[in-house]
Structure 1
Amino acid sequence: MIEELERVYEAALEAIRRGEPAAVATVIEARGSTPREAGAKMLVYADGRTVGTVGGGPPEAWVIEEARAALVEGQPRVLQYQPVGQEGRAIDACGENMRFLIEVLLPRPTLLIIGAGHIGQAVAELGAFLGYRIAVLDERAEMVTPERFPQADVLLAGPLDEQLRNFPLTEQTYAALVTPHHSRDEKALAVLAEQPVAYVGLIGSRRRTQATFKRARAMGVPDEFLARVHTPIGLDIGAETPREIALSIVAEVLAVQRGKPPGRMERQ
């Protein structure tokens, strides 16, 4: 059992590091003939994958279902397994005397900074100060280093679309595209459009943004998604320097996170 617990704990820590939501299901009471004793644990991911077991069979399938629901709500819950006849669940005599605790592991909101230039550095610095989990992505490996981004939790280098497809993008992800050139931003937008990210902001003038959106549409990115992209990114505070621009960006992200979307900047 110790080895299994180690696997569950290690997987839980790795999920937190990746910024991936997960839930820990623990047997808190096991009376009579039950498949697992109190203390047994199982990690459940949002997509239903698991690490460990709380006994298998109908009780475990039900716990997985409840754990996924708890992740959606973001709230823990205590469960009593009920046999058939009570809410119609399948009977399993070995599991009807079991109670479970579901603990939800929601990561810190992730500020995903796409573009590792001066503005990206300033956004990372301010975002980390406010408690965001910082992830930085750039195609230029020499730009994405611990020396340039000491606050970053995750550093990614390579083609934007490939890296984004391998990065957990959730409802807790806030993506800021601050690349120096828009030549590949449409590839990033195409990936982000397929995921439930909370926020997407794009730096640039009206002309550059329109060109990026045109290429994105050609790749099949829907207009409904493009209409939700905050561009020009950030609040209109008259920002000029990289740190001032970073302040306007992070302030907009925070406003969206708190459910108070501000007015957008006027395009130039």
Structure 2
Amino acid sequence: MLDIAAELCEWCEQDRDFAVATVVFVDGSAPRLPGAALAVDATGVAVGSVSGGCVEGAVYELCREVLASGEPVLTRFGPDGDDPFLSQVTCGGVIEILVVPVYAADRAAVVPVLRGDRAALARVVDGPPGTLGRSLLVRADGSYAGSLGGAAGSDETAAAEARQVLAAGRHWARVVLGTAGDGHRQPFTLFVEARAEPPRMLVFGAIDHAAALTTLGRFLGYRVTVCDARPVFATRERFPDAHEVVVDWPHRHLRKTATDDRTVICVLTHDAKFDIPLLSRALALPVAYVGALGSRRTQADRMVRLRAEGVPEWQLDRLRSPVGLDLGARTPEETALSIAAEIVAVTRGGSGLPLTGGDTPIHRDFGHEHCRVPPTATASRRPLSAR
């Protein structure tokens, strides 16, 4: 539900009751990832989306029912069904949606996550009777509030799992607690949403292409830093969309900058005195993407220089250069778009090929990558295409 956090925070401030439907599981092709949400208030106003349109009407009505009854519901929508009037996921996949009411007494559990605090919200999507939708607010300092309503120790275990999600910088995860015979009457399956720090985009080289790329990077949700050793070019006025503008030698700034496996590094200097020490460092880091601007001739010379510096072949294979997808780009804005498109393809597992005439999945299945064990399917829930 973090994609509609601003609207929900405003509703909480206005003391509005609402129900929120959150995608908690995706199998196969689906238009929205887990965490996508749609909320409906007591007057029928709706914000957000869970499917891009194909099941919105059914989920809207379900939100209104849940808000009236006060009972959480877990439901699934898929492509099957004999009734043409039932809502179905036309992409061919299956989505599982948890719908919970949020009244005045529930707001304390969701507001910290909505307003941007370093916190995680764990909700039960499968568990012992009476626990569906119960939540636990877990703060970055390890404290927590609420209860899952399970056996002794389940809240502490859930809080520890949620803290791991926070520490890993994830926005969501689906985790299972306990197994039969370890003191739990029934295992819990939790959907955890976390206020993770945004991934970083490091843009080296304060050129016009960089200005366009910082705008796109911010639009895609990155925390964008522009770095250049030349103070006349690395200015806030030239890069208003950057979160940070740094005057420093690129390789020196990278050495003292925190990165993780979500970080993308874009080297736009195409000047050997900057590129070689910077790329020698960048290619050794466990980051998501390293791309470098330059012609094919520049790239050939760059590879010779990097090999002379001792950069191993497996690291050189990670370098995306000439940077970007082949869009026929000419302007700085078009070039930035080709770079951003390649970043999305690399980080999301796309091919970069046209979808027309292809047979690869349009929506990659990321639903399982954060699961510690396969999701259970034992909870009482509404059937596929319920409504």
TM range (shorter): 0.5 to 0.7
Q: Whole-Å Cα distance in 2 between the matches of residues 186 and 180 of structure 1?
A: 10
1:131-180: CA deviation from partner (whole Å, max 9, x where unpaired): 43221111112211110000001212211111012222122212111114
In structure 2, the partner of 1:91 is: none
Q: Whole-Å Cα distance in 1 between the matches of residues 330 and 207 of structure 2?
A: 15
In structure 2, the partner of 1:219 is: 309
In structure 1, the partner of 2:172 is: 75
Alignment of 1:182-193 (within 5 A): 182-193=272-283
For the residue of structure 2 that corresponds to 1:142, the secondary structure is coil
Distance of aligned partners of 1:189 and 1:103 in 2 relative to their CA distance in 1, 3 Å threshold? same
- Corresponding position: 1:233 with 2:329: no
Between structure 1 and structure 2, the one with the greater Rg is 2
For the residue of structure 2 that corresponds to 1:188, the secondary structure is helix
1:171-218: CA deviation from partner (whole Å, max 9, x where unpaired): 221211111423221211122223221111111122221222222233
Q: Whole-Å Cα distance in 1 between the matches of residues 175 and 346 of structure 2?
A: 32
The one-letter code of the counterpart of 1:75 is W
In structure 2, the partner of 1:150 is: 240
- Corresponding position: 1:197 with 2:287: yes
- Bigger shift: residues 71-80 or 155-164: 71-80
Q: Whole-Å Cα distance in 2 between the matches of residues 41 and 72 of structure 1?
A: 14
Distance of aligned partners of 1:145 and 1:64 in 2 relative to their CA distance in 1, 3 Å threshold? farther
Alignment check: 8 A CA contact 1:117 1:180 kept: no
- Corresponding position: 1:112 with 2:208: no
Aligned length: 211
Alignment check: 8 A CA contact 1:189 1:221 kept: no
Distance of aligned partners of 1:216 and 1:75 in 2 relative to their CA distance in 1, 3 Å threshold? same
Alignment check: 8 A CA contact 2:120 2:195 kept: no
Distance of aligned partners of 1:105 and 1:215 in 2 relative to their CA distance in 1, 3 Å threshold? farther
1:67-91: CA deviation from partner (whole Å, max 9, x where unpaired): 336627653689999xxx969xxxx
Pairwise CA distance, 1:242 = 1.5
In structure 1, the partner of 2:43 is: none
In structure 1, the partner of 2:222 is: 132
Q: More helix per residue: 1 or 2?
A: 1
Any gaps of 5 or more consecutive residues in structure 1? 1-8, 17-22, 27-38, 44-51, 55-59, 88-100, 264-268
For the residue of structure 1 that corresponds to 2:261, the secondary structure is coil
Distance of aligned partners of 1:65 and 1:203 in 2 relative to their CA distance in 1, 3 Å threshold? same
Pairwise CA distance, 1:238 = 1.6
Q: Whole-Å Cα distance in 1 between the matches of residues 307 and 160 of structure 2?
A: 38
From 247, 254, 259, give the equivalent of 1:169: 259
- Bigger shift: residues 104-113 or 202-211: 104-113
Alignment check: 8 A CA contact 1:186 1:213 kept: no
The one-letter code of the counterpart of 1:146 is R
**Alpha carbon RMSD of aligned pairs, Å?**
3.8
Alignment check: 8 A CA contact 1:77 1:103 kept: no
Alignment check: 8 A CA contact 2:283 2:318 kept: no
